[in-house]
Amino acid sequence: MSSLWHVVWAAPGAAGFAMLFNVRKSALPLVALIAVLALFIATYSRELGLTVIASDFLAAFVVGAIAYTIGPRLGEASPVYAFAPVIPLVPGSKLANAFIDSFNTWLTHPGDSVETVRAFTEAATTGLSAAATVAALCLGAISPMLLLPRARTAED
């Protein structure tokens, strides 16, 4: 639990993107709060033993569910509360490492040696893991929209 203090960094992280998306000033505190909650869920569920993909999906799903519940009630479109808060969960370092390792392999491992294949496989594995995490985040944030279709419209 001692490492959980860092989740508060999700607040400025999400607020910057919310301002880029031109979210209203009055909605920014709630966006920041949801982002902190999302990173807390993702981090804590990882500590409980869930995989990165499962914990990020869970966190994004909670964000989506909150956004599609409170967004229409507060007179905001649900993406206001659904989009910016999940951005701190994007596995940026994993994505960057996958690309950097790929480029590194091209530059430093010419030919078809076993070492080259191994390096490429490692880079591809990191890349696929990062891509799966991003897909889980997107599905998690959007899928609550598909629940209770009669109670909600696409305009919510």
Chain residues that interact with other proteins, rule: CB under 8 A = 6, 9-24, 39, 75-77, 79-80, 82-84, 86-88, 90, 92-93, 95-97, 99-100, 103-104, 107, 134-135, 138-139, 141-143, 145-146, 153-156
For other proteins, give the closer residue by CB, 59 or 80: 80
Q: Smallest gap, in angstroms, from Cβ of residue 125 to other proteins?
A: 17
CB of 121 to other proteins, least distance (A): 19
The answer to whether 71 and 156 are in contact (CB under 8 A) is yes
DSSP characters over 34-86: HHHHHHHHHHHHHHTT--HHHHHHHHHHHHHHHHHHHHHHTTS-THHHHTGGG
Check: CB of residue 70 under 8 Å from CB of residue 146.
no
3-state secondary structure of 16: helix
Nearer to other proteins, 50 or 95 (CB): 95
CB of 55 to other proteins, least distance (A): 14
CA 12 to chain centroid, in Å, comes to 15
The least distance separating other proteins from the CB of residue 98, rounded to whole angstroms, comes to 8
Look up residue 70 and give its two tokens.
């409170």
